[in-house]
Structure 1
């Protein structure tokens, strides 16, 4: 049903695996790990322009908050009129609220698509969910754009001894099915790779939230709803990564870490660029005021009153 997501995601992952596999070897765990990381990079580059628009939209929303609150107060008893006036305000300022959530809306299905594609490697390669078929026979089953040889390569790939398609909480039956692909991994080996990634993902989530909160206006931060959301982003969401991390396969944790690190760097660069643009506009406005301001000692130019204009015409 979601093949329109699964095939493009698997195609990008396939491309980067072939690129890194040609250098490191197709069964190398780092080749597959880098393929996941560069899948993130590819997606985020494609979403860079909407992401910049998202930041501008967020700032514009903060600037319009006083006017929005005034409209809400003025038309508190008339929801329809309030919505109409809101639309007028948004249209006057070229403001589109949907741009504020577009990158997140696009990333969510990609994350789900990657999760499905990676789990499909296990289902096709280890016999999970394919009752009556042996792992050896199942390893000859392609997975979207990946051939049977690619499936076997993925299952053989190890990152510091841990298969990248398993999680800390993977059942022993799942771990035992990796015996034909380099031996049965231990929970300790998997945890040694997964836990540092979980900690990194949690810290990256926290610092991304801290950077966003820091950029909020004083009025927005003082809003009770914003204060609750800020606490959720700063503490609850990072804690959720630690709690949910043991249930995520190592490849998904790599995606999570890479995505958050990219977000942190992108926020810094985008905000710096926008701050520079706004500073340049403020300087331009200040310079224009200096140019149009009357010189010291000179009277400011004033337009003659209508009565004076009439007297001049009579003379």
Structure 2
């Protein structure tokens, strides 16, 4: 049913096993362990861009959470109107809540595909998708520090003996892997919770955060008792990649937002007047009229007509020849004339 997933997953794992098999040997447990881990890394690298989109979508959803909460309070009794307003808000900001869930949804069939491939390594199997009979025998015989990839902690003594291992060795190797997988699950959840917007917090969010921080890591520990060691390596690899990927993507988004803030501040500073500089004044309406027609204001001033001559042809009178205010034309001040005569007599 899931052969369209099983064959690509087994094909990628087969390629990595051939690569590491040339370095450490085809039957080496290190080759099989690295092939499982790099299978996970390859699939997660393919989904890197959708993951970035998912992170941006979740961040955008947190920013719109207060507005959505107001819409719920306003149209809580009218579901049809509430759905319309929600859709309107999402379309205005180009937000698609389902588009960011693609990476999480794709990992589900990949997980089942890897489970089917690992469970396909059975004694007597002639083929396991891309793997042939020799590869199946190699996987069943491979051991990592004495522990078998197909054995679990709850396997019967007969099963452990069939794979050539015992329970003490399986516990010694498997339990540390379980603890690391659980710790990485907690760290990835903690990293995601720390990025949440406090304004978008509600009771439902608080419950989900507690589940992600404590219940899911505990679930990995419990599931580790029943899962084969190969699946535990998948959990460790997947959570390790997720933790590193979150660190890279979150810091990348933080740098982009910080750059946008700096650009906005620089733009405002460039538009604002410099210290000590007076703001530019608007020109009078007359000047704007002159400049709007494309003429030079100084030229318009120089082109004004000069004073016209008088009607009898005489030159225009000079303003300096006019009598001063308070004096009578043609009459000289007697006092000043008397002073001049006294000076001549002496």
Q: Give CA deviations for 1:263-297 in whole Å, capped at 9, x if unaligned.
A: 11111111111000000000001111112224556
- Residue 144 of structure 1 pairs with residue 129 of structure 2: yes
Q: Find 2:138's aligned residue among 153, 162, 174.
A: 153
SS of equivalent residue, structure 2 residue 127: coil
* Shift, 1:298, TM fit: 3.7
CA contact (8 A) 2:63 2:200 kept: no
Q: Give CA deviations for 1:186-205 in whole Å, capped at 9, x if unaligned.
A: 01111111100000001001
- Cα distance in 2 for partners of 1:157, 1:166 equals 11
1:282-297 maps to which residues of 2 (within 5 A)? 282-295=261-274
SS of equivalent residue, structure 2 residue 120: helix
- Cα distance in 2 for partners of 1:237, 1:210 equals 12
CA contact (8 A) 2:66 2:199 kept: no
- Cα distance in 1 for partners of 2:65, 2:217 equals 28
- Cα distance in 2 for partners of 1:30, 1:176 equals 21
- Normalised by the length of structure 1, the TM-score is 0.86
SS of equivalent residue, structure 1 residue 121: coil
Aligned positions, number: 283
Q: Which moved more, 1:92-101 or 1:107-116?
A: 92-101
Match of 1:48 in 2: 48
Question: Residues 191 and 301 (structure 1 numbering): CA distance in 2 closer, same or farther, change over 3 Å?
Answer: farther
- Normalised by the length of structure 2, the TM-score is 0.78
- Cα distance in 1 for partners of 2:281, 2:59 equals 37
- Cα distance in 1 for partners of 2:31, 2:48 equals 25
Question: Residues 301 and 2 (structure 1 numbering): CA distance in 2 closer, same or farther, change over 3 Å?
Answer: farther
Question: Residues 47 and 230 (structure 1 numbering): CA distance in 2 closer, same or farther, change over 3 Å?
Answer: same
1:1-315 maps to which residues of 2 (within 5 A)? 1-122=1-122, 125=123, 138-139=124-125, 141-178=126-163, 184-221=164-201, 223-295=202-274, 298-299=278-279
Following TM superposition, where does structure 1 have runs of at least 4 consecutive aligned residues deviating by more than 6 angstroms? none
- Cα distance in 2 for partners of 1:16, 1:43 equals 12
Q: Which moved more, 1:292-301 or 1:99-108?
A: 292-301
- Cα distance in 1 for partners of 2:280, 2:129 equals 75
- Cα distance in 1 for partners of 2:69, 2:29 equals 54
Could you list the runs of 5+ residues in structure 2 that have no partner in the other structure?
283-346
Q: Which moved more, 1:166-175 or 1:141-150?
A: 166-175
CA contact (8 A) 2:157 2:166 kept: no
> Which of the pair has more CA radius of gyration?
2
Q: Name the structure with the higher helix share.
A: 1
CA contact (8 A) 2:20 2:34 kept: yes
Q: Which moved more, 1:93-102 or 1:280-289?
A: 93-102
Could you list the runs of 5+ residues in structure 1 that have no partner in the other structure?
126-137, 179-183, 303-315
SS of equivalent residue, structure 1 residue 165: coil
SS of equivalent residue, structure 2 residue 115: helix
SS of equivalent residue, structure 1 residue 26: coil
Match of 1:313 in 2: none
Q: Which moved more, 1:255-264 or 1:69-78?
A: 69-78
* Shift, 1:149, TM fit: 0.5
Question: Residues 13 and 74 (structure 1 numbering): CA distance in 2 closer, same or farther, change over 3 Å?
Answer: same
Question: Residues 158 and 277 (structure 1 numbering): CA distance in 2 closer, same or farther, change over 3 Å?
Answer: same
Q: Which moved more, 1:197-206 or 1:92-101?
A: 92-101
